Structure 1
């Protein structure tokens, strides 16, 4: 349900505008971008809380997690009645190169020379004097 007072609503609307989402793709992106750098493990309840905010149904999340586990992207761990998920070694190996590239600090070579070009419209300059 859309909340009018939610500043993220327009972004979430945009996420859903093309119809059916590929929830597994969204889930694996969350793992690579948000969960892996912060300890690498998340409870199903916490992940459901995040995705409900994006208007993703709990059943769609369960299906996505099941498929990701079956395909070897994530590993499920149980602690009593609670389930936790983390990226598998396959998932980490796939995300590692992209993560290094995306989140690497910007490298500026201060020793390089810079050239600044300034283009002037000569026609306008000539006509200004008339």
Structure 2
């Protein structure tokens, strides 16, 4: 686990729920639970500040860090997908993005591709990406931020092709590969969940710090699916979709660990003594 990636998990899972701002000493203590040194954490924080994810506020001799508007938006998007805060029924519409970005702006083009991949778009053809979710406004915002509005076109359309929608999906996403990744997640965490469930049934204690470590690692690993799983509607998923079982396991294991994990976080968490 890399400190910067873990910081995203800590902010997304805990800090955003308790005011959004935290003392740097609390961060180093929390990440120290995963064997990360204070220096490594501070370096990661500095990088996130320079990349525009975090902002600092100094009070006396203490520094407090919160997510920037850009960072908050990313965390909200991640939470919506992790906890399946998506429309229950698909309206059959596709969001289609095309772009023609000059070679001299290749760096911007690469960044746009990363953003589209993060949001769950799949590449149908060179410079043509599709998603079954309404992401028009989000793409507009990204295009404006990168100053490429004149290079990007956005459409919302029905699919009228010869293939059925599932075959269209197969052209854009490797669902077999995603299924295998979910199977690996279940293989790793099912035994841990069963053991903890038995401990609870036997009334055997588990420390809050252990709950914090286990729950944070669980969320951290599950968050990786944001980069490979486009969160397709049920109508577009194959009958045998391991993601459903993985989601059920995640939620059950999360529920057992959450109370103790939150207690430990709050015992370490220190926010600024005042607000701007």
One of 40, 62, 66 as aligned partner of 1:86: 66
Name the residue aligned to 2:37: 57
> TM-score scaled by structure 2?
0.30
The whole-number CA distance in structure 1 between the counterparts of 2:13 and 2:84 is: 13
CA deviation map 1:90-110 (0-9, x unaligned):
1011111221232357x99xx
* Structure 1: unaligned runs, 5 residues or longer: 1-20, 109-130
8 Å contact kept, 2:3–2:31: no
* Structure 2: unaligned runs, 5 residues or longer: 89-276
The whole-number CA distance in structure 1 between the counterparts of 2:53 and 2:31 is: 19
Structure with higher RCO (Cα < 8 A, 6+ apart): 2
One of 7, 10, 13 as aligned partner of 1:33: 13
CA deviation map 1:63-94 (0-9, x unaligned):
00000000000111100100000111010111
RMSD: 2.1
Query: 1 or 2, which has the higher helix percentage?
Result: 2
The whole-number CA distance in structure 2 between the counterparts of 1:83 and 1:75 is: 10
Q: How many residues align?
A: 89
- 1:32 offset after TM fit, Å? 1.3
The whole-number CA distance in structure 2 between the counterparts of 1:27 and 1:96 is: 15
> TM-score scaled by structure 1?
0.61
Q: Aligned ranges for residues 1-130 of structure 1 at < 5 Å?
A: 21-103=1-83
SS in 1 for 2:36: coil
